[in-house]
Amino acid sequence: MHPVLFEVWGYKLPSYSVMMVLGYLLAVAIMFHLTPRGPGPSDPWSAARGEVGLFRAQVWDLFVVMLVSSVIGAKIGHVLFEASGHIGSDGKPIDGVIALLRDDPFHWARLGEGGYVWYGGMIGALGVAVFYFWRRPHLNRWRYADVTCPAMMAGAAIGRIGCFMAGCCHGKPTDLPIGVFMHGQMVHPTQLYDAAIAGLLGVFLFFRFPHRRFDGESIATLLVSYPILRATTEFFRGDHERGALGPLSTSQWLSIPLLLIGVALFMRLGRRSRATGG
């Protein structure tokens, strides 16, 4: 573990914060790479529906909106599922969360401190993006969504490396050679498992982007594949404070509706693409 990158004049720079910033920078670089600077050749498919194509200025607006909402969503997710003491003595998580917020109402607002939940950030970003496009029906929402997918996965991969350096989100004890020494014992490096999954999925979505069969294919692929892979690595997690309900962790429960949404998108958008010949 290397939770502090370096210290200058008594100020400690957390490794996780640095990796999170690098992840966002890589994400916006990928989004810019996949979009033109301004209006280019006509797009008959979008023009037929009165839609506006992708341009960097619009992508930048979307990135800023999703950046803020993902950070806040990840922090709120931490309060709901992972904050220490959120499970009360009677075993009811909601009572523990209420008690936590009563004792520290602005726990969620201290963004500079640790404690972020990936699914909370993802749901926060997607939720705000839905509202963003609902107010702008002329935009090609599914193409925008596809642009964010490889960027999102690249950022997640870098962020998970930050988790590894900070020592959070670790795995269960193991005797396998792949184990790493953390918190006084050899454990599964689940942070690196998740980083590899996100990185490989991001690379696939990046190179697949120009060859998509229909707009929305990337977001559908992400919502189908990532929940399955993430739910699998959750079985190796050993940080019990992340929260669980019955036999599954909170992340595994959240993976189920996201997977179903991904399957529904594949069916709906694929059917529409075949009907329009797009």
Q: Where are the domains of the chain?
A: 4-276
Least confident of 38-47, 207-216, 265-274: 38-47
pLDDT score, position 199: 97
Highest mean pLDDT range out of 50-64, 103-117, 167-181? 167-181
More confident residue, 29 or 114: 29
pLDDT of 92: 58
| Residue bearing the bigger pLDDT, 63 or 255 | 255
Instruction: Say whether pLDDT at 59 is over 60.
Output: yes
| Range 16-35 average pLDDT | 88
> Distance (Å, rounded) from C-alpha 204 to C-alpha 70?
23
Q: Which residue do the tokens 């958008």 mark?
A: 269
